[in-house]
Amino acid sequence: MNASSRRHILASRLGGYSLILLGTSVLFGWLTKITLLETVLPHRITMKSNTAIGFLLAGAALLLLNNRATTPKKKWASVFLSIGVIAIGLSTLVEYALHVNFGLDQWLFADHFQLTYPGRMAHITALSFCLTGTSLLFMALWDRKGYQYQLLSCTTFLGALLAMVGYLYGVPLLYGSLSYTSMAIHTGGGFLILSLSILCCRPEEGVMATITNPNLGGWVARRFLPAAIAVPAIFGAIFVNSKPLSPDVRLGVAGLIVSQIVLFILLIWGLAFLLNHMEQDKTQARKALQKSERLLQQSQRLEAIGLLAGGIAHDFNNLLGIITGYSDILLEQLPPNDNKRSKLEQIRNAGRSASALTRQLLTFSRQQVVQPSILDLNQVVSNLEKMLRRLIRENIHFHIILGPALPKISADPVQIEQILMNIIVNACDAMPEGGQLYVQTANVDTCDVPPDVKSGKFVMLTIRDTGTGMDEQTLSHMFEPFFTTKQVGKGTGLGLATVYGIVKQAKGFIVVNSVVGQGTSFEIYWPVTEAAIVASPGPAEIPVAVPRKPGTVLVVEDAEAFRELICEALSSQGYVTLSAKDGNEALDICRNHKDRIQLIVSDVIMPNMGGPALAKRVQEIRPETKILLMSGYSGDLLQQNTLGAHVGFIQKPFHLDDLLRKTAELIGSQMENRRIHEASAG
């Protein structure tokens, strides 16, 4: 609650006390026969005793309603007081409507100054009590009826304003009638206080929300609305009382002044309303911009971490290749019963485990070379169902819901398996006591697409659990590598980072919703492709070894130790090896070497000249030479360069057997092509 609202509530309380004081003083005047308390002005209209009681009831109800945290007893007490206010006004209106005199205004004190009939409460007073009593009743029964009860109070305020202007301008028609009792001057003042107090009682609702708003519009309303009421009324009174004017002219001036006051009120309130909305729109836009900046910053932080992770993985791949490669060579040289084999196997296994971590880092940084195919997501999920069920405990109920007739996506099925395994393992950890786990697919025509994703059609993969959920702080860091909420040794913190990298590399996006104690859902959106479907690969089979052919291989690698390892492995299989530390040196060898070079094994990322650029240059010098690119950190380099059929690829880190197999395949295919070419030429 702002300072303006607090001031309005204080004014409402003061209004309640003022009404009680007004009603009490008038009743005391009737009791003690003090005419001044009954009429305020000598020989003027008296405030009837039932009118004074009405103000007492209204003031008491107003004080009870002024605090929202009121007790039920106080609430119902205010309801009965409000009904009493309505009953006082309604009974008099019934008297007027039926042309009878119940003498309600004479029950306590007889009015000797005015006639008993029509000396009852003025009809405008009775109507005002009905309106204000209804406003108080709405406030007592419903907390959110701001416009309804405030509009009723505004109507009462207008009637009281007319009465007061009538007294100021000497126009009796505005505060009464020629046939019946008119409204007393202090009755009109009481209704002004009552209507304004009702408006101020709930300052942050209805029409008052515009006035108490802390923005520029609220400031304008609070400064100019009082002046819009007081200034025209005062100047009009000075004008009509300074000149001898006929009653008709006075009535016309009074009507003009009241019309101007109402017009000014509406104009100022409307201006304040527009200004507040403009400020709110600016505030919302500013908050949206700040949120966007925090997100477009989180994205930059993840991108920076990804680049760092990719660079680290690149260097580690070479080191791990040396560890696992020499471990394989030494294991082949040792006899089966040598006691050193177990130690070497531990070294090799540790290297392979570390290689798996670098692959996850590369996936997170979106720099892993993928082999996408055109897939039916339903088919992939169905193929993985048995494997996924083995990951899930018996106290977790697993449900797979497949959407009908999904369009095709372009994805690496192995990466989809990674996504499902990583998220499902986390979901199971979040449900130690069991729960429900859902994997669902659906076709999505329209969705809110992030700024860095192209709009279009998507296939949605949803993984939802009923686990412990995540708080806001965890959600803001969950895709960062090495961030984990698990105990030390229970997780690497790369699972969700890997998921993030896979989806981003596929040009998709992720929406995560989580509520602490209720569960988490991951909605993964894959772009739809229009290409024809290609059957997803089944279980991997061990390829038949290709007979090795003699040949010359040029190894291009900037990491010297890794380059020597590859040369040693190839030489051990009978290949003639040449070596170069970068692309420029490799080109010099290609130009100056007299014999045929069957294959160039080159790293993708190297100083001076990388592997793809080298492959294009070699194609010009030695078109018959095959190229085998090797990398774990590729970025967009391979995607940005269209490589021909003469270029192969092997993912770092690799086993030496895989390198030798790939080498034999490429050299064998080259020699077979050469034999066919020579036969056709002969």
Region at 277 (left for phi over 0; alpha for psi -120 to 50; beta for the rest): alpha
Contact 373, 412 (CB under 8 A): yes
- Helices vs. strands in the chain: H and E counts, helices first: 20, 12
Q: Profile the chain (682 residues) by mean pLDDT over runs of 10 residues.
A: 82 93 91 82 79 93 78 87 93 85 69 58 90 91 74 91 89 77 89 93 86 88 91 89 86 90 92 90 81 68 66 73 85 85 85 70 58 84 88 91 90 84 90 93 79 79 93 81 63 73 84 91 89 44 47 92 91 92 93 92 88 89 91 53 68 83 81 51 49
CATH topology for 370-527?
A: Heat Shock Protein 90 (3.30.565)
Give the span between the Cα atoms of 505 and 494, in whole angstroms: 16
Q: What is the pLDDT of residue 674?
A: 55
Tell me the domain boundaries of the chain: 3-204, 370-527, 552-681
Q: What is the pLDDT of residue 107?
A: 66
Q: What is the pLDDT of residue 131?
A: 94
Contact 528, 408 (CB under 8 A): yes
Pick the CATH number of 552-681 from 3.40.50.300, 3.40.50.2300, 3.50.50.60, 3.30.70.3340: 3.40.50.2300
Query: What is the reported pTM?
Result: 0.49
Letter string b/e over residues 219-246, b meaning 16 or more CB atoms within 10 A of that residue's CB: bbbbebbeebbeebbeebbeebeeeebe
Q: What is the pLDDT of residue 403?
A: 92
Contact 268, 231 (CB under 8 A): no
Measured CA angle at 63 (ends 51, 137), to 5 deg: 70
Q: What is the pLDDT of residue 636?
A: 44
Q: What is the pLDDT of residue 539?
A: 38
Give the span between the Cα atoms of 292 and 287, in whole angstroms: 8
Q: What is the pLDDT of residue 370?
A: 56
The length of the chain is 682
Which helix or strand (DSSP H or E) is residue 554 part of? Answer: strand 552-556
Q: What is the pLDDT of residue 451?
A: 67
Give Cα 564 distance to the centre of its chain: 54
Give the span between the Cα atoms of 219 and 240, in whole angstroms: 33
